[in-house]
């Protein structure tokens, strides 16, 4: 007896399976969180594009990009802080201090932009280090420590400026270039955000420093046993966000033409944290990425601009941001399987 076999339709299944696997791998690479953000962004753009013919114009997209730059800078570095298991809710006030110092130092030095920017960066570094030292060596909860900083740095900015805008920097080419210049058709501010975001992404993804940051946020006990100097890393990430706030303060000064103690900086901490959380950062630490954060920044920027263009009360922007933050945290809790408060496991 001879045995013969006939081709079966099942032979083609591996190819189909391979195509499905390829699509699945592609979707996993993008990330479910990012896919949701892309969908929400497209929906917002389509909605406001229908409501207003000029919303999707190139000039308005540029306005959105410029307005989102300062939030983006803070959100990118806030992402690092959150991944490391920390949180900084004082960044808005830090931006106000940095903005005032940059303008006042610029004026005092005879319209020397380098002196103004250097002074601002120095103050940002010192403020960030102070936050880190209080949290690490004072053993103060990051939320409490930076909440105190939120009030203290806001008061400092108002004391230094007497509560008023300081100086005038738009008679200087360097500040004009930062605030209004373009390179290859894109605002300098946007290029700066791109450079910072790419640098931080590469740091987190491809270096030992980045891996250690994730390890500390994921399990600080295991990280300590592995020989990672947790205290040094925590102080360093708070110093880093202090420098980022200083850069944001300089850009705020360049955009507005003067040092702003509160205008333009109030609420930035909420925007930065909301963007990081929407972008997939676990507020408990150990998880997150720069790509998701940037998508969330774009979503918030487009939403804010759309509400403004439609003449909707600006107070609704705060309502929307707060609601988005709650939604992001609820989704995180659901995905992590955390039990509801007051209910058994």
What does the DSSP assignment read for 136-157?
HHS---HHHHHHHHHHHHHHHH
- Those residues whose C-beta lies under 8 Å from the C-beta of residue 139, and which sit 6 or more positions away, are none
Backbone angles phi, psi at 101, to 5 degrees: -65, -40
Contact 120, 260 (CB under 8 A): no
Q: Looking at residue 91, what is its pLDDT?
A: 96
Name the DSSP letter for residue 112: -
Contact 204, 213 (CB under 8 A): yes
Q: Looking at residue 28, what is its pLDDT?
A: 45
Nearest C-alpha neighbor of 260 from the set 117, 116, 118, 97 = 97
* Nearest-angstrom CA–CA distance, 229 and 215: 11
> Quick one: pLDDT band at residue 4, thresholds 50, 70, 90?
very low
Q: pLDDT higher for 134 or 267?
A: 134
Could you read off the pLDDT of 41-54 as tens digits, one per residue? 999 999 999 999 89
Work out the average pLDDT over 299-319. Answer: 86
Nearest C-alpha neighbor of 241 from the set 140, 158, 142, 327 = 142
Q: Looking at residue 300, what is its pLDDT?
A: 92
Choice among 35-39, 306-310, 323-327 with the minimum mean pLDDT: 323-327
Contact 321, 269 (CB under 8 A): no
pLDDT surpasses 70 at 186 = yes
Alpha-carbon Rg of the chain, whole angstroms?
23
Contact 234, 136 (CB under 8 A): yes
Work out the average pLDDT over 282-299. Answer: 92
Instruction: Specify which residues 186 forms β-bridges with.
Output: 183
Contact 44, 324 (CB under 8 A): no
Choice among 200-209, 233-242, 302-311 with the minimum mean pLDDT: 302-311
pLDDT surpasses 70 at 163 = yes
Work out the average pLDDT over 91-107. Answer: 96
**Strand 186-187 relative to strand 182-183: parallel, antiparallel, unpaired?**
antiparallel
pLDDT surpasses 70 at 19 = no
* Nearest-angstrom CA–CA distance, 182 and 191: 9
Residue length, the chain? 345
Percent of the chain at pLDDT exceeding 70: 87
Element containing residue 313 per DSSP (H, E) = none
> Quick one: pLDDT band at residue 337, thresholds 50, 70, 90?
low
Percent of the chain at pLDDT exceeding 90: 69
The tokens for 189 are 């501010």
Choice among 32-46, 82-96, 169-183, 234-248 with the minimum mean pLDDT: 32-46
The tokens for 278 are 């929407």
* Nearest-angstrom CA–CA distance, 83 and 328: 16
Element containing residue 130 per DSSP (H, E) = helix 113-137
Choice among 18-32, 165-179, 244-258 with the minimum mean pLDDT: 18-32
* Nearest-angstrom CA–CA distance, 166 and 105: 10
Predicted structure pTM score: 0.86
pLDDT surpasses 90 at 327 = no
Could you read off the pLDDT of 248-265 as tens digits, one per residue? 999 999 999 999 998 888
* Nearest-angstrom CA–CA distance, 61 and 305: 9
Q: pLDDT higher for 275 or 326?
A: 275
């Amino acid at each position: 007896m001879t045995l013969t076999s006939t081709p079966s339709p099942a032979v083609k299944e591996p190819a189909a399976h391979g195509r499905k696997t390829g699509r699945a791998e592609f979707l996993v690479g993008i990330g479910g969180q990012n896919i949701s953000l892309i969908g929400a962004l497209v929906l917002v753009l389509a909605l406001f594009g229908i409501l207003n013919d000029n919303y999707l114009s190139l000039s308005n997209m540029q306005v959105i990009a410029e307005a989102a730059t300062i939030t983006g800078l803070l959100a990118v570095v806030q992402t690092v802080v959150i991944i490391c298991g920390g949180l900084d809710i004082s960044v808005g006030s830090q931006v106000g201090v940095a903005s005032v110092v940059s303008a006042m130092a610029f004026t005092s030095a005879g319209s020397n932009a380098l002196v103004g920017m250097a002074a601002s960066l120095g103050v940002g570094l010192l403020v960030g280090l102070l936050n880190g030292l209080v949290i690490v060596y004072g053993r103060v909860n990051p939320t409490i420590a930076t909440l105190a900083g939120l009030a203290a740095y806001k008061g400092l900015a108002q004391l230094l400026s007497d509560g008023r805008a300081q100086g005038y920097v738009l008679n200087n080419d360097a500040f004009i270039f930062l605030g209004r210049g373009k390179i290859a058709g894109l605002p300098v501010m946007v290029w700066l955000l791109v450079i910072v975001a790419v640098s931080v992404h590469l740091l987190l993804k491809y270096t030992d420093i980045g891996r250690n940051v994730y390890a500390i946020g994921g399990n600080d006990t295991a990280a300590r046993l592995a020989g990672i100097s947790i205290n040094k890393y925590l102080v360093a990430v708070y110093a880093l966000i202090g420098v980022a706030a200083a850069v944001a303060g300089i850009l705020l000064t360049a955009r507005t033409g003067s040092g702003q103690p509160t205008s333009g900086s109030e609420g930035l901490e909420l925007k930065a944290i909301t963007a990081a959380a929407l972008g997939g950062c676990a507020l408990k630490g150990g998880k997150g990425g720069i790509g998701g954060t940037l998508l969330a920044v774009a979503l918030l920027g487009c939403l804010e601009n759309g509400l403004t263009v439609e003449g909707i009360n600006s107070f609704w922007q705060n309502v929307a941001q707060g609601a988005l933050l709650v939604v992001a945290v609820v989704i995180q809790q659901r995905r992590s399987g955390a039990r509801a408060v007051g209910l058994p496991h």
